[in-house]
């Protein structure tokens, strides 16, 4: 049965039958421990600044990409503006900063994996094309 797991090194949250052997966010091996919805929501709410406007979302994305050795933010400002608006619309209407390109299920545990930025490095799209599902984050070495 699927459940929540948390990387005890970087707090990456995973939903599945079993945790990944290697954390897709920090690379730690065998670091996942069982978690639950309360703990996951507490981790997600640990933002220093509230991210509740498109400008704050863009700033958080930039920070996320700048510290990443493997991904960068797209150069397309029109897409960044559109996607940040979509994420903040989802925050207003659905209560979380869900991905603007994917459909939520209504199950809060399952939908944790749709909070932006998601664990897109696990997605087939990223593995095959080097982009997250919405082409917001792109592999740095993509040609
Ligand atoms: S696919 Fe891209 S835009 Fe969508 S949640 Fe993941 S990182 Fe954010």
Query: Ligand 1 mean position to 12 CA, how many Å?
Result: 15
On whether both 92 and 139 belong to a single domain, the answer is yes
Q: What is the mean pLDDT of each run of 10 residues along the chain (143 residues)?
A: 86 88 82 88 71 92 89 96 97 94 92 90 92 95 82
H or E, element range at 16? strand 13-16
On whether both 91 and 61 belong to a single domain, the answer is yes
Cα 19 to Cα 31, 34, 91, 107, 133: the distances in Å are 9, 9, 27, 20, 22
Q: What is the CATH number of the domain that holds 13?
A: 2.20.28.10
CB-ligand 1 contact for 120 (6 Å cutoff): yes
Q: Looking at residue 10, what is its pLDDT?
A: 82
In whole angstroms, give the CA distance from residue 124 to residue 88. 26
CB-ligand 1 contact for 99 (6 Å cutoff): yes
On whether both 67 and 131 belong to a single domain, the answer is yes
Q: Looking at residue 46, what is its pLDDT?
A: 67
Q: Which domain holds residue 97?
A: 49-143
On whether both 102 and 77 belong to a single domain, the answer is yes
Number of domains present in the structure of the chain: 2
Q: What is the CATH number of the domain that holds 85?
A: 3.90.460.10
On whether both 120 and 76 belong to a single domain, the answer is yes
Query: Ligand 1 mean position to 102 CA, how many Å?
Result: 9
* pTM given for the model: 0.77
On whether both 8 and 31 belong to a single domain, the answer is yes
Query: Ligand 1 mean position to 82 CA, how many Å?
Result: 13
């Amino acid at each position: 049965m699927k459940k929540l797991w948390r990387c005890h090194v970087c707090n990456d949250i995973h939903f599945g039958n079993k945790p990944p052997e290697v954390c897709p966010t920090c690379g730690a091996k065998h670091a996942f421990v069982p978690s639950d919805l309360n703990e996951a929501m507490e981790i997600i709410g640990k933002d220093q600044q509230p991210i509740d406007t498109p400008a704050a979302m863009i700033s958080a994305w930039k920070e996320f990409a700048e510290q990443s050795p493997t991904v960068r933010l797209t150069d397309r400002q029109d897409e960044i503006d559109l996607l940040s608006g979509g994420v903040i619309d989802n925050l207003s209407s659905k209560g979380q900063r869900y991905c603007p390109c994917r459909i939520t299920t209504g199950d809060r545990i399952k939908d944790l994996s749709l909070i932006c930025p998601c664990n897109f490095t696990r997605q087939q799209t990223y593995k095959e094309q080097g982009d997250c599902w919405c082409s917001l984050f792109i592999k740095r070495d993509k040609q």
